[in-house]
Amino acid sequence: MQAWAGLFEDVAHLLDGVALALGFALLTPRLGAMFSLVRAQSAVAAVAAAWQAWSAQSAALAAMALAVLTVGAVALPWALRRQASAAPGSRDHAPPAPATMTAAAALAVLAIVVVLPAHLPGMPQRGETLALAVAVVLVALLMLGIRRAALAQLVGFWALANGVALAAVAVGSPAGAWCSVALFGFVAVGLVVRPAREGAA
Amino acid sequence: MTGTPVLPGLAILLPLLAAGGAALAPSAEVAAWLAIGGATAAFALAAALPWLPWLPDAGRGLLSDPLAVHMAVLTAFVAMTGAWFARPFWRLEQAAGRADAGTARRGHALQSALLAALLVALLANHPLLAWAGMAASVLLLVAALRLTGAETAAWRLFLAGGAGLALALLGTLLLELAASPVLGPGAHVLRWTFLAQVAPQGHGPLMTLAFVFLLLGYGTLAGLVPLHGALAAAAEGPAPLTGVLSGLLPGVALVTILRARALLAANPDALPPGPALMALGLLSLLLASLALRREGDPKTFLAVACTGQVGVVAFAFGLGSGATIFAGMLHLTLLTLVRAALAQGLARAEQLKGPALGGLLAKHRALGLTLAAGLVALAGVPPFGLFTSGFLIVLETTRKTPLLAIPLGLGLAACAWALAARAMALCRQPPMPEIGPAPPPAALLPAWLHFSVVLLLGLAMPAATVEWFARIAEAMR
């Protein structure tokens, strides 16, 4: 039984780690790659929610996993591809990759250093998943800050929603999970309110 | 006693119904009257709340503590005068060909919906429901900016507001986690009233982390640094919505920060919340005082000036004593009233003269005086109330942290100087051609109603008002 519990934690950490690695990869200036990566990150967030739902026997988290998968990994990528089809292979202006990667690594380390010691007594695994989720949020904020093209900024906001969804999974809050799904609704609104004249640079 | 939980609910529901009715109304005129009716009813209901007995029942879904009631009354009052102002505003816009009947109708509907969303954010006992109210407010403001084609401003507000909301949601989730050992699992227990009771036993380090994210997230919506550009962008839309009602959003966000601050202050293991709040407040004030010198556009100038004053309020909340929270709440109340009045006056002036306001005071004395009075009031010059609250904050800062009184005083003086210079320029600029009809004096009544309250609170604050603010300060200390 203890081995099973260890497996649950290891898989949860692995999924959060993959989401963070995808967050780093999202710092690429190529818009097409960004769309695929953020879609993959949403899928990973959905799997993490489903895994947590299974381990905690939570119907609310299972519903959240389904919502994140449907909205974040299917509907939004489809809508985004339709909008971006006019500018295939375009790139966004971005600072040099070494500087961006160094800043992202510093933010990830900051998240881990700050969140890990703050974990609840008796629940260290929750602190680790939370630290990784906060790292995803901070890296997404960096991406949001350095992007110039509206579509790339929207992808940054989408990654932010993925990070908050992972945090809601780590906390295990049903109401928080639904609020984090609402952030994906924000991304959908972003597709509508995106300035028409500003395309990918 | 049983009426208490019903009234806040009705105050939210009626503007929501008015919004639905206005959206489906056959004409803009009908939509305008529905919006006026909804906002007036919401104000009447909110104004009745202080007279009803407060039930400190922690499990209720809607708050009716002095802080929530005070902000609800203020919000509904500003929305009500804003609705009176919006009807002739949209008629003039239609007459000038800048808006059609559909745009005006949607404008009235958005105004009512925005009031309902702000009241949800203020009165919800559940922090996540309050977050949802704030999220709806941001989306409605984005829709308002799109209404007049301000696409870039809408996008800037969407991005900054969305990022702020994401951080605030993360902070709320951490707050829930910090309180979970005491509260037990389940979302139904996460209430501001429950949290206030269990804050001393909560997990201190996690509460500190939650406060940091709440401060950064809601600070963005309040206009505090480092993501302070969102609200300045919101100033570009139609005046009844983005000029008048967007001024309420910082207040709602600051009140949520104040609640989180009180939780953190009650926990012995958490870091003190004051220094972070004071630092962001002071930086916002100093940045605004520098930016005001360069700002030419009147609407953005007003938004930046208000950002500085929001910084003063945050600084006062950060100091954390009863007297400074009293002064901070007074400053926030007066600032909201002055900002809404100034936004109304500015919108009238722009309908008359376009963006160049030269010669306003010479030819249209009532309108020119309204704007000049607003700038003087915002500068914190006596006899207006912002002088009283600003003086109280500086006095308390000198007593508690004398060194910080220097940058605070310099920031306030620089802002006041820039505002006074703008008021002088309004008087001295050469006359510019007019592009629209002059507003009748009655159209300025809502703005002067606001100034009367600000003047009254500055010259002779009634004892009952002093007691009311003292109750809020005592509860939030």
Backbone angles phi and psi of A91, in degrees to 5: -125, 155
Q: Does B151 lie at the interface with A, CB-CB under 8 angstroms?
A: yes
Would an 8 Å CB–CB cutoff place A136 in contact with chain B?
no
Residue B124 backbone phi and psi in degrees, to 5: -65, 135
Taking only residues 157 to 186 of chain B, the set having a beta carbon closer than 8 angstroms to any beta carbon of chain A reads 158-159, 162-163, 165-167, 169-170, 172-174, 176-177, 180-181, 185
Express each pLDDT in A163-185 by its tens digit. Answer: 999 999 988 888 888 888 899 99
Question: Residue A199 has what pLDDT?
Answer: 45
**Mean of the per-residue pLDDT values of chain B:** 86
Q: Are the beta carbons of B53 and B408 closer than 8 angstroms?
A: no
Of the candidates B162, B176, B208, which has its C-beta nearest A176's C-beta?
A: B176
DSSP B298-356: HHHHHHHHHHHHHHHHHHHHHH-SHHHHHHHHHHHHHHHHHHHHHHHHHHHHHHHHTT-
Return mean pLDDT, chain A.
Answer: 84
Q: Which residue out of A129, A193, A198 would a mutagenesis test of the B interface target, given it has the greatest number of B Cβ atoms within 10 Å?
A: A193
Instruction: Give the predicted TM-score (pTM) of the model.
Output: 0.92
Residue pointed to by tokens 């500055």: B458
pLDDT-derived band at B1, boundaries 50, 70, 90: very low
pLDDT digits over B70-86, tens only? 999 999 999 999 999 88
Contact A150 B208 (CB under 8 A): no
pLDDT (average), residues B375-391: 89
* CA dist., res. B180 & res. B55, Å (int): 25
Q: What is the pLDDT of residue B325?
A: 93
Contact A183 B177 (CB under 8 A): no
Q: Return the pLDDT at B5.
A: 65
Once rounded to an integer, what is the mean pLDDT over residues B424-435?
Answer: 70
DSSP code per residue over A155-195: HHHHHHHHHHHHHHHHHT-HHHHHHHHHHHHHHHHHHHHS-
Chain B within 8 Å of A193 (Cβ-Cβ)? yes
Question: CA-CA distance, A62 to B310, in Å (whole number)?
Answer: 42
Range A74-86 burial, b when 16+ CB lie within 10 A, else e: eebbeebeeebee
Query: Taking a C-beta distance cutoff of 8 angstroms, is the pair B197, B140 a contact?
Result: no
What is the amino acid identity at position A141?
A: L
What average pLDDT does this structure show over B328-334?
94
The 10s digit of each residue's pLDDT in A80-135 is 887 766 555 566 777 777 888 999 999 999 998 888 877 666 666 678 889 999 99
Q: What is the pLDDT of residues A48-80, one digit of tens each?
A: 999 988 888 888 889 989 999 999 889 988 888
Which pLDDT score is estimated for B344?
Answer: 87
Q: Please, what is the angle between helix B248-266 and helix B204-222, to 10°?
A: 170
Model confidence at B367, pLDDT cuts 50, 70, 90, reads confident
Task: Report the phi/psi class of residue B25: left, alpha or beta, with left for phi > 0 and alpha for psi in -120 to 50.
Answer: beta
Indicate whether B369 pLDDT > 90: no
The dihedral through the CA atoms of A140, A142, A144, A148 has a sign that is negative
> Which of A81, A50, A75 lies closest to A65, judged by CA?
A50
Is the pLDDT reported for residue A8 higher than 80? no
Residues of A in contact with B230 (CB under 8 A): none
Q: Residue A201 has what pLDDT?
A: 35
- Cα B365 to Cα B295: distance, rounded to the nearest angstrom: 25
DSSP state of B197: H
Pairwise pLDDT comparison (B340 vs B295), residue with the higher score: B340
Measured between CB atoms, does B194 come within 8 Å of chain A? no
Question: pLDDT-based confidence at B2, cuts 50/70/90?
Answer: very low
Number of Cβ atoms within 10 Å of the Cβ of A48: 29
Nearest CA in chain B to A165: B170
- Asked if pLDDT for residue B431 goes beyond 90, the answer is no
Higher pLDDT pick, A115 / B4: A115
pLDDT at B360 > cutoff 80 = no
Q: How far, rounded to the nearest angstrom, does the alpha carbon of residue A25 sit from its chain's CA centroid?
A: 12
**What share of chain A in percent tops pLDDT 70?**
86
Our CA-based measurement puts residue A7 at a distance from the nearest CA of chain B, in whole angstroms, of 23
Confidence of residue B218 (pLDDT cuts 50, 70, 90): very high
Give the contacts of B349 (CB within 8 A, at least 6 positions apart). B298, B357, B360, B367, B371
Q: In this predicted structure, what is the pLDDT of residue A37?
A: 92
Tell me whether residue A6 is exposed, middle or buried, using C-beta atoms within 10 angstroms of its C-beta: 0 to 12, 13 to 18, 19 or more. exposed
Worst-scoring range by mean pLDDT, B264-273, B357-366, B405-414? B357-366
Over the stretch B99-148, which tens digit does the pLDDT of each residue have? 888 899 999 999 999 999 999 999 998 899 999 999 999 999 999 888 87
Residue A63 CB burial class (10 angstroms; 0-12, 13-18, ≥19): middle
Among all chains, which residue has been given the structure tokens 């509206």?
A150
Highest mean pLDDT among A21-25, B57-61, B188-192: A21-25
- Owner of token pair 């009045």: B341
Q: Which of B163, B169, B172 is closest, CB to CB, to A144? A: B163
A42 touching B (Cβ < 8 Å): no
DSSP state letter for A91: B
Q: What is the pLDDT of residue B51?
A: 81
